Each structure stands twice: as C-alpha cells, then as structure tokens.
Amino acid sequence: MSSPVIINGKEVAQSIREGLVKEIAALKEQGITPGLAVVLVGTDPASQVYVGSKVKACEELGIYSQKWELPTETTQEELVELIHRLNADVRIHGILVQSPPPKHIDEEAVILNIDPRKDVDGFHPINVAKLVLEDEEGFVPCTPQGCMELLKAYNIETAGKHAVVIGRSMIVGKPMANLLVSKKANATVTIAHSRTKDLPALCRTADIIVAAVGRPEMVTADYVKEGAVVLDVGINRIPDETRPRGYRIVGDVNYESVKEKCAAITPVPGGVGPMTIALLMANTVKACRQLTR
Ligand code: GUN
C-alpha cells in the first residue's frame, strides 16, 4: 500500500475560520457581535485546556466571549441560575457547559435549562431531535460535524459506504452515526460499543472507521481493511517521562500500524481536534444569525 493521505485538520479548520472572519465582519457592519459563554465547573486539567482554547479562538475571530470558571462545589441550582442569566443575556448567542461536570451535577438536567437556540454544543434534546429529523436549523455537536467537514474537504465519498462508528456517546458516537446515515451523506452505518462481538472483524468490513471510544491506541492494523479511511476522535493523555509535561497525547488509533493499511487517516494531534473548535465558532455565528434575524 502506498502511504496514506494524512488529513490535515489544522488546515481545514483554518479555512473554516477564514470564512467565519468574513461572516463576523458582515454581522459587525450591522452592529451585531456574536457572543459565546463557556462554563467550566471544577478543575479538571484537560477541561481547563479545552475551555482556554475555546475562549482564545473567540478572541482570534472577534467573537465576544465570557469564561465562567466555577468551583467544584458549585451546586446544580447555582449552575442552572447562571444558565438562566446567560439565556437572558442579549450579548450571548451560544452557551457551552464543558463536559464532564463534577459527579454531583446532573448534566442532562443542566442541559435542559440551556435555551435550545443558544445550545451550540447540540446537546439539548430539541437539537438531538432536529439532527435526527435533518432539520438544518438545529445545532449539531461540534466534533462529529468536524469529522464530516474533513470528509468533505478531502472529497471522501460516503454514499453507499459502510461506516463503523466505535463509541455511542451523545457527544460523538450517536450524532456521528446520524450524520453519516443522513440523506446528505447516505452511508450505511454500524455503531459499535463495548459489548460488540468481534470488533476487529466488524471493523474490517468498514470503508470508514470513526474511533471515538477514549481508549488509547485501541484500533490497530488488525481492525482495518486495506484502503479504508480512519478518523481518530480520541484525545488520551498517557504518562511519558521523556516529555516536559510528563505525558503525551495519543488517539484511539494506533497510528503507526494503521497508516500502513489505510487510504487516509487523521493524526492526533492535528486531525479532528482543531475541527471541534472551528465548528464551535461556526455554531456560535449560526446561533447569532438565527437569534438576530
Ligand atoms: N467535552 C469534550 N468534548 C466536549 C464538547 O464538544 N463540548 C462540551 N461542552 N464538552 C466537551
């Protein structure tokens, strides 16, 4: 097999951002500035990094942002009260509560309090329904939307292809499967999970594999059919004393072995990761447009 196409998420994310800069400039001409509120409860180090990157992206694009870093002990009621304030704040068009929250917080109940028109994560049941109904006014979770944009940017055909999505989370696996099976993409989709029997054999029937399980380097060459496309959604920190921070980041795919077999692959970092933030910015601009029209 010749060497695969290395899907450059940084580059595709950059071109999405350039489109947004123009759209934001046009909104500003009308006196409108898109605004995003990012809420983090607790001190999870990875979440702190993600939240910081989201706010930085807003600054780079000229999106107004608020960063709310609340202590771990914040109660459900306090968090919901903040969300109600953000729902009512006309400067804010998008609200994101970083997942996962501390254990005492009921995430689903919190999400129900976000105005669906400001739910730029696409986690509210109204937006989940709109995705299934293929109603384009709704919000689609950023990471799976980013995966679809990568397939589009690289002209990777999905119609009639067999896609295996590994993972059934509400953040990635389930919305990913819905996007792939939609009338826009027309893939035939299998959702695999921890109880799936003989996962490697199933994956070997896939033309497209989306790995979103959160298990470092689980998908090895043995899972991959010659010429398949592999999207790696995993961001796993594994201890590595040779690195300044004491860890390195790997995906859910064993890149070195899989790259010998596949036609195209997303690296970690630099693949799906940058797309998530670009699509969050895109969803914020979309929310702003829809709320101000
Ligand atoms: N945690 C990991 N990914 C995400 C995401 O896309 N949105 C939120 N809110 N939390 C996350």
31-66 residue pLDDT tens: 999 999 999 999 999 999 999 999 999 999 999 999
20 in ligand 1 pocket by Cβ < 6 Å?
no
99 in ligand 1 pocket by Cβ < 6 Å?
yes
Give the pLDDT score at 18. Answer: 98
Residue 24 Cα to ligand 1 midpoint, Å, equals 23
Output the DSSP codes for 248-282.
EEE-SB-HHHHTTT-SEE--TTTSHHHHHHHHHHH
142 in ligand 1 pocket by Cβ < 6 Å?
yes
Mean pLDDT in residue range 79-102: 98
Give the pLDDT score at 2. Answer: 73
**What are the CB-based long-range contacts (under 8 Å, 24+) for 44-51?**
44/100, 46/235, 46/237, 47/98, 47/100, 50/98, 51/98
Residue nearest ligand 1's atom 8 by CA: 98
- Cα separation, 165 vs 127, whole angstroms: 21
- Cα separation, 82 vs 14, whole angstroms: 32
- Cα separation, 68 vs 52, whole angstroms: 11
Residue 289 Cα to ligand 1 midpoint, Å, equals 22
**Is 121 a catalytic site residue?**
yes
Q: Is the pLDDT of residue 1 over 60?
A: no
**Is 66 a catalytic site residue?**
no
Percent of the chain whose predicted confidence (pLDDT) is above 90: 99
